[in-house]
Structure 1
């Protein structure tokens, strides 16, 4: 059994889920799986994947897990009470061999947002681990050697807590057991430079800080939930701020591109949020433009955090740290490069929201190939509304 705890997921799933419970409990959504790595024959393992999904849907939150969540200051008592009754239901999942690409799979999640939001991360972790069970064998000693070499290079950067490192590797990890081995090595090797993990289960069992705020789906959903499409991004940030009242103040900047984000992220939001997260496009250009935007708003960028999380490796972290150090607060969320570097080539797999309340929604990424929407007409309309053409 791959997933053994419903806490074995990223914190931002719970933070978004709580906001959904309080503001949009009736919303209906659709998610779709995509493997960006070409020619991966996942369909040969479909029965094994389905078996793991069935076991996932037997899990319940345990009393000690609910107590842990209740102890997080931004988690409300009514949400924990709801989780005490919650379980994932396989009836919201459709998994079958793809009819469009031989050997691949079609995975669709469809149902109430409140009851489907927790599927994404464990499903991706399941698909990854099932695939690597049957792939070329990994070399754990070599993986640990690589990990310790990365830790040494990060320590030599000399930034300490100014070069904050977090584990963001749950979704594309090699395995559950390897992830549980990696995080204590990071904690012990990096010391105060290691600021926590996005994985709530590991944060609880290892005494670490759970990290995360919002994901793309939060802003995407408002394309269908908001009063006007043009205002959807601003409304999403406003509802988030009302829900968390100063907590969890890192805004995601790339759902409809950086240009549109900066137009919407006015002085009010610049003061309200603690920082911004980069997840697509050139990170150096992004950082320069965000800093310039803060300066234009007459705010000191050194009071704000820039969080980088797009396909990071140690070389990129060190280059970004050298470029931006002293100009803002810096944090780096590293995923696959920490939790799946043992020899076999990692998969590039995602699950993205594609519809909300029967309407298409989309992410217009600043990186080619990261956008995902099944309605090209809607994408053209979205680009027109946000003046991206």
Structure 2
């Protein structure tokens, strides 16, 4: 028990590095807090907190290898050399993570400078999943079957004539399953498979690292600049750092309706497209196409990346609806990296509070496109809904 092969500091989602780069540049003194949320109410066995602590403590030994730095220099020219030098010196600090357990309930809280703590979410979630399946002695299908499942899926997606990336690091069954799946997708996914969100596996299998930013980017901007300015200044700051690179904008931190009201012609032209992560995907497609048309932009020159709980049936429905109207791509997570005959875990780690350089700790929130699925402090949610004129 407790074999968790976190082999590389790059075994993390790509958008954590792109956001960390931007935070180091723009908000080096900001602080953040994150909290584990057990959405699936999974019961953790006795002593699980100690298993996780041991794994987290061992992460302090990870560092950026010379070959990994050279890979980033070549593959990601928009990451500043000063950042890559910083990353070479970066070490996980386990004192930023508080882990405890009461009965079968697990508590994980992360706190510290944002540019440091931003890196914890994804690896801790993948460790929780891997260690949970080990600690509860749940047996998965064998490696040969894992490869067969991945091959069957990529062949079905190939027949749909779509583009897809693998986004499944956070809730993967294990590193081994993730590794085998990605290898199979690269091998059999020619013309369909566009890359992976996992930077380590992108390097290992010479495929494209995929990702831009996550909800926490805009959640922090809400805490620092206010909810009305969060999308606008989040996009402005992103484009100031990346100058047109990494051009997919996440739309649903404060509902997509509010996002599109601030996604003006400048941003609509500058960004390559948007990412859908909650709410009805077909309604979102209509809203996006209409937005581009109203701004005099041909939607067929722009892309929507769909990434909300996708499986084959959902992808097929979206692809058939959007075909010929706008470019589309799909980021598929858990259904690729945790389809091993066991129940996938339903867990998240969310930023809960931010402390910009000035001021006090401020609760951060997310106002999803899913009716009544907003997350964060209830009073702050109500305040934001009033300010942004959101009724649900």
Deviations 1:113-140 (A, max 9, x none): 0111110110011001001113421112
Structure 1 residue aligned with 2:28: 25
Count of matched residue positions in the alignment of Structure 1 and Structure 2: 380
The normalised TM-score by structure 1 is 0.95
Q: How many Å apart are 1:91 and its aligned residue? A: 0.9
Tell me what 1:115 maps to.
116
Cα drift, residue 150 of structure 1: 1.5
Q: Note the residue ranges of structure 2 that are not aligned, 5 or more in a row.
A: 356-360
Which residue pairs with 1:128 in the alignment? 129
Question: Aligned partners of 2:216 and 2:373: how far apart in 1?
Answer: 14
Partner of 2:58: 55
Find the aligned partners of 1:316 and 1:112 in 2 and give their Cα distance: 39
Give the drift of 1:368.
5.1
The 2-side partners of 1:91 and 1:119 are apart by 12
Match of 1:145 among 148, 156, 172: 148
Residue 250 of structure 1 aligns with which residue? Answer: 248
The alpha carbon displacement at 1:42 in A equals: 5.5
Residue deviations 1:71-129, cap 9 Å, x none?
Answer: 2111110100111111010111111114xxx4111111000001111101100110010
Instruction: Map Cα deviations across residues 197-218 of structure 1 (whole Å, 9 max, x no partner).
Output: 0110011111111010000000
Task: Rate the CA distance shift 1:61–1:150 in 2: closer, same or farther, 3 A.
Answer: same
Is the contact made by 1:43 and 1:104 (CA closer than 8 Å) also made in structure 2? no
Residues in 2 aligned to 1:288 and 1:125: alpha-carbon distance in whole angstroms: 34
Q: Which runs of 4+ in 1 moved over 6 A?
A: none
Q: Which residue of 2 aligns with 1:215?
A: 214
The question of whether the paired residues in 2 share the 8 Å contact of 1:128 and 1:174 is answered with yes
Task: Spell out the pairing of 1:25-44 with structure 2 (5 A cutoff).
Answer: 25-41=28-44, 44=47
Match of 1:92 in 2: 96
Shift in alpha-carbon separation, 1:144–1:84, aligned structure 2, 3 A: closer
Check the 8 A contact 1:280/1:366 in 2, yes or no: yes
Task: Give the Cα–Cα distance (whole angstroms) in 2 for the partners of residues 145 and 59 of structure 1.
Answer: 32
Are residues 1:284 and 2:282 paired? yes
Pick from 347, 350, 353: which aligns with 2:351? 353
In the other structure, the counterpart of 1:82 is 86
Deviation of the 1:178 alpha carbon? 1.0
Aligned with 1:276: secondary structure?
A: strand
CA distance in 1, matches of 2:92, 2:44: 27
> Are the equivalent residues in 1 in contact too, given 2:62–2:91 (CA < 8 A)?
yes
Deviating more after overlay: 62-71 vs 123-132: 62-71
Q: TM-score, normalised by structure 2?
A: 0.94
Superposed displacement of residue 369, structure 1: 7.0
Contact in 2 for aligned 1:275/1:304 (Cα 8 Å): yes
Uncovered stretches (5+) of structure 1, i.e. residues with no partner: none
CA drift at 1:172: 0.7
Displacement of 1:45 in angstroms is: 1.4
CA deviations on 1:240-292 (whole Å, 9 max, x unpaired) are 00100010000000101111111111112111111000001111111111111
Aligned residues of 2:44 and 2:132 also touching (Cα < 8 A): no
Q: Which whole-Å CA distance do the structure 2 matches of 1:275 and 1:351 have between them?
A: 26
Whether 1:381 aligns to 2:383 is: yes
RMSD, matched Cα: 1.4
1:318 & 1:142 partners in 2: Cα distance?
24
Rounded Cα–Cα distance in structure 1 between residues aligned with 2:37 and 2:372: 11
